[in-house]
Amino acid sequence: MPTNFSFDDVTKASFSTGAAASELNKEFAGPRLALKGNNYAARLAIARSLAVAESPAAVDDAPGQNIKGHILFGDGVDLRTWVCLLVEHTPIDGPVGIEELQELVRRHWARGVRLLDKDWKDCGGDHDRFIMRLAEQANLRGKGAASARTRSANGVASREPFVPKAVPVRLPMGPVSTDLRTGKRLEFAINAKGNSPHVAIMGTLGTGKTFIARTMATEAHQQSGCPVLVFDMGKGDMAGNPSFVRSIGAEVLTPPQVPVPLDVLHLSSASEAAIAAMRFRESFDRIPTTQLGPIQKNLVGEATERALRGAHPVRLADIQDRLKEVYAENRRKDDMATTTFSDLAKFKLFEPKYSPTEFFSQSWVVDVHTLPDFVQRCVVFLILDAAYTYLSSLGDSAIDADGNRSLRLFLCVDEARKVLAYNQDSLIGLVRESRSKGGAVMTVSQSPDDFSNNDDDFLSNIGLGICLKTNAKPALVTRVLGQTFDLGGLRSGEAVTRLHDRGFVRFQAWDESSFETAPRT
């Protein structure tokens, strides 16, 4: 792209954004991140906006604070890099002058600081979580699966990475899946353009919600070929159904009898250790019934980073050993953190046999329903962390000519109420961010009330909410369906949902002829 200015012109020019964005910028430079100046916050905002493919909109606001070009962009290589990035992302046809560059900065700065503000609020104003999110978005973990070195522990042959295909995937919502008003068969276009691929199925005991989930997971796998990862936290109805397990080409894992063969603390490079340690710390904090205090969390994070900077693969026992060292150095007595590690050490939960690329290239049913709740959370949270990290490291999944996005991983959590209340970062991140990477998440729970403790954006990112007979607060029913409805009045096998192209629908998900030997749960 040709330009009508010199780098010297840029250093002498003044740059600004809108007044509202300028005030937000001061928040990040000051109380939120304690940066050295507004120019550093502005650079962060511009970089955040440049990571978005679409061009930023014009800023309809009075000008805010001016920053000279040499202060905003620096000089030398820094200056040239910033200018090249901005010009490369311009939608302007023809030469770019200094005024056009000023307008580009104005727009990117405004959009970027708004995105940073949303990221900050999504992280609850937690500084470490915010930094971790920015690192994930910037893909500081490296090039991802394409460059990951596949290796095999204990002489086991490496698995080939799954190669997704962009094909239309249309999921029936149960074996019958028929609109009760029109008699037409219903399908959810899970990977169609404009649809969120995430599903929430809700119904009380005996309404068939797990059966519907099995139907949808099977169809997702058979239509797209994508791996399916199931967490069976309920009564073993997923793992205990051989027909379902075969239909998704899965192996059943029952830790500790059959540990999860995943290098759950895998790093692609040593530079990832700090980010991985923060993510582990946040998940570990949610494993005990009572959350850790700030000092305990920091010590767990320090111990984890020490372990991750040592020999690999890293096991939970390695982190436990480093935690003992850290506690001894700080003259601390045993507490909730050390006790939780000691309790977890009684179970062999993971065996670092496969890298994330290898593990997430095939289907698994992880059956944890007989384990204590805190051990269930440990297994599920750490695998979710690995899944989020793995998908985040990949480029966007392919899209066909009709806008259907290829699926890389279909993840199902049965009896999800056991994890929904904990606001686990990676589960939230998968629902918010994995669509472009080819991820899809399905939660199976007893009621919309199970989402009452979740972040407000969680349900808004669900593309399909299916409600069978259950009891729920009217406000949560409205959030799922877009209107009030008496879920307690639904008949056997009936469900309600809201589809992108049809609106509110009452339908027959299954009937008695649907069941042969499959248990209805």
- The pairing of beta strand 14-15 with beta strand 67-68: antiparallel
The confidence score (pLDDT) of residue 454 equals: 64
Residue 410 and residue 284 in one domain: no
Residue 494 and residue 378 in one domain: yes
* Confidence band, pLDDT 50/70/90 cuts, at residue 149: very low
Amino acid at 49: S
* Confidence band, pLDDT 50/70/90 cuts, at residue 456: low
Residue 445 and residue 464 in one domain: yes
**pLDDT, mean of residues 42-57:** 88
Q: What is the pTM of this model?
A: 0.73
Q: What is the CA radius of gyration of the chain?
A: 25
Structural domains counted in the chain: 3
**pLDDT, mean of residues 308-317:** 93
Q: Is the residue at 1 inside a domain?
A: no
**pLDDT, mean of residues 299-325:** 95
- Name which of 186-190, 258-262, 388-392, 482-486 the model is least confident about: 482-486
Query: CA 513, 518, 521: angle at the middle one, nearest 5?
Result: 95
User: 317, 344, 371 — which closes off a domain?
Assistant: 344
The confidence score (pLDDT) of residue 94 equals: 67
User: 344, 374, 389 — which closes off a domain?
Assistant: 344
> Up-side HSE of residue 487: CA atoms within 13 Å toward CB?
30
In whole angstroms, what is the distance from residue 397 CA to residue 85 CA?
24
> Up-side HSE of residue 159: CA atoms within 13 Å toward CB?
18
Give the percent of the chain with pLDDT over 70: 92
Residue 196 and residue 305 in one domain: no
Residue 299 and residue 367 in one domain: no
Q: Which domain holds residue 279?
A: 270-344
Q: Is the residue at 161 inside a domain?
A: no
Q: Is the residue at 51 inside a domain?
A: yes
Residue 249 and residue 363 in one domain: yes
**pLDDT, mean of residues 275-302:** 93
pLDDT in tens, 401-443: 999 999 999 999 999 999 998 989 999 999 999 999 999 999 9
Helix and strand tally (H, E) in the chain?
19, 16
The confidence score (pLDDT) of residue 138 equals: 64
Q: Is the residue at 145 inside a domain?
A: no
Residue 257 and residue 374 in one domain: yes
Residue 62 and residue 82 in one domain: yes
Measured torsion, CA atoms of residues 123, 126, 132, 138, in degrees rounded to the nearest 10? 60
Residue 373 and residue 335 in one domain: no
Residue 112 and residue 11 in one domain: yes
